[in-house]
Chain A
Amino acid sequence: MNQTFLEMTVAGFLILSIFSFLYKDNPFYRLAEHIFAGLTAGYYVGLIWQTVIVQQLYVPMTQEGKWEMVFPGIMGILMFTRFFDRLSHISRISLAFVMGNTAGIFLVQQLHGLILPQTQATIINPLSGNWLFGIIPGGLVIIVGVITTLVYFYFSKEQKGLFGKTARVGIVFIMISFGAHFGYTVMARLSLLIGQVKFVTVDWLGLFNLN
């Protein structure tokens, strides 16, 4: 990316303003926060204007004669009636239409796209898969892990006796997985910091040179 020094100075100043929050909440941070909120909202305005109002409504209507597109446009505008108490119920029609569509897609997605294939993929030979140190078979770990996790999240029975012991195994599995998640997340958060530090010190201020 070939940014000019001016561009980098703008960006660098904003980065430092945001980071100043680490010391405490201060006017620089608040200014940056408001600039950010304003630009973000403006970004949405420009984006929706071009990609929806122009490209999905205006162009199809005027150039392809698809005048029926006036209906989704009206339904979209009806969403704004929620700002007026007396008319707000009209916005429910558009909202319900979108929610119904989403719910339909969601339902198919969950059953057909997740539950069936995920269940199918668990029906495997327990001795298959990689063995840890040659003693713990991976396939068995998957089967036991999936079943005990499902048992742990089963709420219709007290966790006592055999059922309780299974749930205990489940919680051990869950903690192993969350531990792994923890380790991964640390890397994610650090990546972003490293990116910003590199920008400020190397690209902008040129404190030292890489390579």
Chain B
Amino acid sequence: MNAFIRALLPVIFAPGLALAGNGSDPWFRMDRLNTLIFLLVFAVMVLVYIRLAKMGRPLFLRKLAGLDAMDEAVGRATEMGKPVLFIPGIQEVSEIQTIAGLSILGKVAAFTAEYETPLLVTVQYPVVMAAAQEIVKDSYTNAGKKDLYSDSMVQYVAGSQFALAAAVNGIMTRIKPAANIFMGAFYAESLLLAETGNLTGAIQIAGTANPEQLPFFIAACDYTLMGEELYAASAYLSGEPKILGSLKGQDLMKIVITVLMIISIILLLTSWKGIFILKLLETA
């Protein structure tokens, strides 16, 4: 099916290219040619990397500081004999940040299973709860500690944004977790959660792609995964080909853009050819 769709691509674009003309009602807008080339180059990069990842080619991603910190945090929780609290954001499971948060949960659960440390996950939606239970159960089974798992590790905290914040704050002050891990889509409640966690003396690790919440997490948590780092962390941990491949494709495109910027600036300063590159990037 995929191969079929991909084979169709050139067929769809070819008539447009062939009949390209000018005037007010053109078959192909030449002034948008740069976007088309850019689109095709980028699509090829992403698709090739996804293919490579599917074929099992090892693709390197650097390890993020926040991921090491998770191991440490679970270690400390074990020493103190206190639980680890995990929140995969407050969005539905269709949000990609939630998906990223859940794949990180898998790794955290593997750690807690290994060290035999209690784990508590709180979520806002029933569907997320089901998914989280599945993931935690898998991790415990893989670690050979299936008997330590129970469904009550994942709790559904009903209601709205602020109701969730109030409930989680109550849990934090009651059980005083040794580590709080927030990974996913957070909004205004980020501040409330991070502040209370700080007060109970937990190690706090946060990650979100919502830039307006990042300053609060950085100021109130010990480690923070910022923006794209959240996705990179999930690709690193889950190793799913389509996510890993896309990330590598994006990385390659970043190099292309950076190099293009540097060369153009040098050209702009040294000769008239720089102007030409600026023209090439002009969009209409």
Q: Interface of A with B (CB < 8 Å)?
A: 21, 25, 33, 37, 107-108, 111-113, 115-117, 119-120, 122-126, 143, 146-147, 150-151, 153-159, 174-175, 178-179, 181-182, 185
Contacts and interface: CB of A to CB of B under 8 A. Distances in A.
Contacts of B283: 112-113, 116-117, 120
Contacts of A181: 211-212, 214-215
Interface in B125-147: none
A157 B62 contact: yes
A119 B254 CA distance: 11
Nearest to B61: A155
Given A112-B32, A115-B38, A146-B261, A153 B229 contact: yes
B160 A150 contact: no
Contact of A155 (B215, B251, B282): B251
A150 B255 CA distance: 9
Given A25-B166, A123-B261, A123-B278, A116 B212 contact: no
Nearest to B59: A156
B13 interface: no
Interface stretch (B19-27, B77-85, B197-205, B264-272): B264-272
Interface string B40-74: 00100000000000000001111000000000000
B42 A155 contact: no
Contact of B254 (A116, A153, A158): A153
Nearest to A112: B35
B216 A126 contact: no
Contact of B38 (A111, A122, A151, A185): A111
B170 to A, nearest CB: 8
A155 B214 CA distance: 19
A154 B215 contact: no
30 contacts: A108-B35, A115-B38, A116-B38, A117-B281, A119-B257, A119-B281, A120-B282, A123-B261, A123-B264, A123-B274, A124-B268, A143-B261, A146-B261, A147-B262, A153-B228, A154-B251, A155-B61, A155-B247, A156-B60, A156-B248, A156-B252, A157-B60, A178-B218, A179-B215, A181-B211, A181-B212, A181-B215, A182-B219, A185-B212, A185-B215
